[in-house]
Structure 1
Amino acid sequence: MELVVSENGGVMHFERARTRMLESRFGMASIAFGSAIAGLVVVLVELTLTGVFSRLGDAAVTIIIITTVYAILASIVGTSTIMAMHRRTLGWVCEGRLPYESEAKKVLRFPLDSALLGGSLWLPGIVLEAMLFAVFLPGRDNAIAVILVALGGLSSAGFTYLVVDSVIRPAIPMVAKVVRPVGHPSSSVLVRVGITWALASGLPIASVLLVLADTGSGQHERIRSAVYFAIFGLISGYAATAFLAKSVAEPLDTLRRSLQKIEHGDLDVVVPVRTTSEIGLVEAALNDMASGLRERDRLRDVFGQHVGTHVAQRAIDRGMDLTGDMREVSALFVDVVGSTALAHQLEPREFVDKLNRLLSIVVDATTVNGGLVNKFEGDAALCIFGAPIELDDDATCALRAARRIRDEVLAAEELDIGLGVARGMVFAGDVGSKTRLEYTVIGDPVNEAARLTEAAKAVRQRILVSQPVIEAARSDERDLWVPHGILRLRGREDETKSWTDNRGYRNSRERSSADVDTGISHTEPRQT
């Protein structure tokens, strides 16, 4: 059983008492019995204040006894019936499980069904009272007395509705998990306000009108009774208005604070659905909204881990759309030296662990410098600077990332790598179909970067970049690079002017040792 308790001690005790009453058949039975007795008290008070009993004389005692006996018998019938209704409607509470859908729908109707039960038991009583008054009272006095009895029956049904509606509220969060919408036409705010007004103000006003219309009573008696009813109406009206205002303001304040949390990025918001009115529908809708936002963020995070956060956001913003544009970007390609031999020498799990540590360095260095790891290709990775997010200086960012990757990977002494960087115009966008898309870059700079990577594996610095990258970089970064020579790269007709950084990372003795370990020989590229 889910129970929302306030830090306020009094409210906490009230909630626990309400929950115990909800779980007990006798708790609901006591509501039916108490509402019937309350209706009887209302009838007796009204008949007394309006002077009806005084005009009945000795017959008043007979009518009071008959009315009381009928009220007790009707209460017994109502109590037995509502206990059976409790078993069919709220038995799942005692069993400590979620309700079935049919049971949940019965819970939403329970206040109305209970009120209709109480009202129906008053109908024979009203007929009985009308017969008694017809015998002992003249015509007009008879009609007023019957109306007063009917008002008592209506007040009893209204009390039943409001009390049962309040008692079942601890069960509403569980009902909300089973049925949507968590509401019923009979439980709207308008219905509750109407019933509360009828009990707190409508009943006293109607009583005042009946008293003033009763010419059988003396003027002094009518004025006194009207004053009593008016005072009661003022007090009960104020109390009911304050109660209604609080019952609406508190959940609205909770909703406001929850929306502020969501606005500030806290999506772990769950508002207890404590009512079946429109407010409960809003509470349930807010929970659904927060759940949807959490799921969207989770999917975006998962999606971002696969394609990069910028690409994920681009897909969310644009939707499933085969679009793209021409961009001038810097492409960085990194590949492992001797990966085939390593895969043969190492256990698959060990090789994958080494590869993951390498790729973590690649991702960190690329992300810090504003780039995108576009794809992993086995033991290689393609990184893009300038798409999908434009950079003011993509060339400098790519060069910095290349140096950082080289330094961190080779400092770890787990793997040897080659890096190639090229720059130029590419198509950057989505390729594929309406059901399966991939963000990619297509163009000669990508191929050139891959070929430079092959050549870089034989260079001491392990990095080769093309002339356009150096020309586009800032002067402070350009000063860190020196010409390497002109290369004729595999698959390309044009010769490539290449550069490498002016700092080596290990001496020749270390390099020779690495060559023996990986089984890879290094030859200088042809220079012209």
Structure 2
Amino acid sequence: MSANKSVAQRLGRVLETVTRQSGRLDETPAYGSWLLGRVTESQSRRRVRIQLILTVFILATNLVGIGVALLLLTVALPTPSIFSDAPRWITFGVGPAYVAVALALGAYWITRQTVAALRWAIEEHKPTLGDERKTFLAPFHLALGVLFLWGVGTALLTTLYGLANELFIPIVGFSVGFCGILVATFCYLFTEFALRPVAAQALEAGQAPRRLAPGIMGRTLTVWLLGSGVPVLGIALIAFFALVLGNLTETQLSVAVLIVSSAALFFGFVLMWILSWLTATPVRVVRAALKRVEQGDLRGDLVVFDGTELGELQRGFNSMVDGLRERERVRDLFGRHVGREVALAAERDRPKLGGEERHVAVVFIDIVGSTQLVTSQRPADVVQVLNKFFSIVVDEVDRNHGLVNKFEGDASLAIFGAPNHLECPEDDALAAARAISDRLAAEMPELEAGIGVAAGQVVAGNVGAKERFEYTVIGEPVNEAARLCELAKSHPARTLATECTVQGASESERVRWSLGDTVTLRGHDHPTRLAWPS
């Protein structure tokens, strides 16, 4: 005896107001079950889905409750009989009439109360704390309305049948009241399930208010009391009435206890299964999302739809993913400024001032005629040219396991062998220099650049102050590469390396270079033999 199809239709309109939030995890059941659809589903289709769930379940639950009540009255407790020992106008008149009236009144009353509690969602307003409390109490109020209608029916039928025969009082009162409690409990759990989209919207607006039975423990104990405690009490009452009234034979008492016990076992199991399922689904959603995070997928947030500790678990997962996304954003930003390898080293080892001796290769690249480039073009065009130039440099340095240590105007310094260790940094540096030269000639023929390559011992580490430092290398190879770069600007090959650098490379890389003249670089006392790509 509960709200009929119109209840589901009105609730479906409420659910139609819940809008999709961007970035949700669409590949998992957003509300814990595919029955409620995905967050990407159209609102009209979701309304039909929710209407179907509520209509089928509420009507089916009440019909099953009425059927069980009739089974108890006719088979489990057959004496006295509601057909032969009671006026026919009660059994075939008042009973069916009350069912019809209860459905009509329930449709109006319960619908009105539920819609009033969810008015903020219908009008798409931000809920207040009072609105949030009404939202989370809506399943309880609906179940209370169902229980009230069954209670009125129990009192009415018990009174009428009791006037005909006093023996009907315990029988009718127990049979109808027992079924009413079970139906109300089922309606509470499934209404809470069906309203998850609205609950998610309320939870997103603020903290969940206190429920009737707060937390998982309160919910579990409530369901046990109504689904198992009350039926067990009913079995005890049957035995008590049989002893006091003496209206049941031994066989009838056994049949009555067997039927009530079977009903209690069945409905108790179903209720606990529903409760377990409602408890497990948020955990399953979080578990599925955790698997995605383990695979490096940080897209989207979970929909927080549970007001118990499980909702806090979902909220905590979202906070964790937000922190991971922020960490990835900082890591990406940090890596763009200082280089990926330096960023990874800083995460792995706490950075500090100081350095260590490393054998590295250094590549220095500088544009030829940069002054003319700046004065002959608009600033925006100059920046566009430089970005294309540096993209080629960064691409080839990264491909050859190097680090672009710094940009200085239209020049850049790349390091091979620090902070990441390379077996033969000369190979990678020389290969990168050749690749940069070839790509500039093919992709930016209007732009020329001098490239210098040198290798040797340097001090690599963090220099500066505690509040601000940067990773760099200091040593003779850096100065030597810069001087070679200056010389390369006027050399036909545009790319120069020292003989020592080429000799330190592997045979496969050495054959790609030709040795040439010996010069004394500016600021150096000893002569240096040059090499350039063959």
Band of TM-score, shorter chain: 0.7 to 0.9
* CA distance in structure 1 between the partners assigned to 2:485 and 2:187 by the alignment: 82
Amino acid at match of 1:168: L
The answer to whether the 8 A contact 2:73-2:171 is kept is no
Q: Give the aligned partner of residue 348 of structure 1.
A: 379
In structure 1, which of residues 154, 157, 169 is the aligned counterpart of residue 196 of structure 2?
A: 169
- Name the SS for the 2:50 alignment partner: helix
Amino acid at match of 1:171: V
* CA distance in structure 1 between the partners assigned to 2:221 and 2:80 by the alignment: 31
Measured on the aligned residues, the alpha-carbon RMSD in Å equals 4.8
* CA distance in structure 1 between the partners assigned to 2:295 and 2:485 by the alignment: 45
The total of aligned residue pairs comes to 491
Q: CA deviation at 1:367?
A: 0.9
The answer to whether the 8 A contact 1:365-1:405 is kept is yes
In structure 2, which of residues 365, 376, 381 is the aligned counterpart of residue 334 of structure 1?
A: 365
The answer to whether residue 282 in structure 2 is matched with residue 265 in structure 1 is no
Q: 1:100 to 1:388 in 2, by over 3 A?
A: farther
The answer to whether residue 433 in structure 2 is matched with residue 405 in structure 1 is no
* CA distance in structure 2 between the partners assigned to 1:269 and 1:447 by the alignment: 49
* CA distance in structure 2 between the partners assigned to 1:438 and 1:341 by the alignment: 32
The answer to whether the 8 A contact 1:426-1:445 is kept is no
Q: Give the aligned partner of residue 440 of structure 1.
A: 472
Alignment of 1:336-485 (within 5 A): 336-411=367-442, 412-422=444-454, 423-429=456-462, 431-434=464-467, 436-466=468-498, 469-479=501-511, 480-485=513-518
Instruction: Structure 2: state its 5+ residue gaps.
Output: 1-17, 21-28, 38-43
The answer to whether residue 335 in structure 2 is matched with residue 308 in structure 1 is no
* CA distance in structure 1 between the partners assigned to 2:402 and 2:301 by the alignment: 37
- Name the SS for the 2:423 alignment partner: coil
Q: Give the aligned partner of residue 211 of structure 1.
A: 238
In structure 1, which of residues 81, 92, 113 is the aligned counterpart of residue 120 of structure 2?
A: 92
- Name the SS for the 2:298 alignment partner: coil
Q: Deviations over 1:230-281 (max 9, x none)?
A: 2322433444455456556666555444433333333336555454455554
* CA distance in structure 1 between the partners assigned to 2:345 and 2:127 by the alignment: 43
Q: CA deviation at 1:473?
A: 2.7
Q: Give the aligned partner of residue 179 of structure 1.
A: 206
Q: What is the TM-score normalised by the length of structure 1?
A: 0.73
- Name the SS for the 1:177 alignment partner: helix
The answer to whether the 8 A contact 2:367-2:410 is kept is yes
Q: CA deviation at 1:382?
A: 1.1
Q: Give the aligned partner of residue 530 of structure 2.
A: 500
- Name the SS for the 1:414 alignment partner: coil
Q: 1:476 to 1:79 in 2, by over 3 A?
A: closer
Q: 1:207 to 1:17 in 2, by over 3 A?
A: farther
- Name the SS for the 2:118 alignment partner: helix
- Name the SS for the 2:459 alignment partner: strand
Query: Percent identity at matched positions?
Result: 30
Q: 1:39 to 1:503 in 2, by over 3 A?
A: closer
* CA distance in structure 1 between the partners assigned to 2:47 and 2:30 by the alignment: 8
* CA distance in structure 2 between the partners assigned to 1:471 and 1:149 by the alignment: 99
Q: Deviations over 1:40-79 (max 9, x none)?
A: 9877876775578669x76998899999999999998877
The answer to whether residue 348 in structure 2 is matched with residue 317 in structure 1 is yes
Q: What is the TM-score normalised by the length of structure 2?
A: 0.72
Q: Give the aligned partner of residue 509 of structure 1.
A: none
The answer to whether the 8 A contact 1:424-1:444 is kept is yes
Q: Deviations over 1:409-433 (max 9, x none)?
A: 2443222212223332223236454
* CA distance in structure 1 between the partners assigned to 2:239 and 2:163 by the alignment: 24
| Higher RCO (CA 8 Å, separation ≥ 6 residues) | 2
The answer to whether the 8 A contact 2:178-2:231 is kept is no
Q: Higher mean Cα deviation, 210-219 or 424-433?
A: 424-433
Amino acid at match of 2:336: Q
Q: CA deviation at 1:132?
A: 9.8
Q: CA deviation at 1:485?
A: 2.3
Alignment of 1:225-240 (within 5 A): 225-240=256-271
Amino acid at match of 1:424: Q
* CA distance in structure 1 between the partners assigned to 2:193 and 2:152 by the alignment: 28
* CA distance in structure 1 between the partners assigned to 2:212 and 2:435 by the alignment: 66
Amino acid at match of 1:165: E
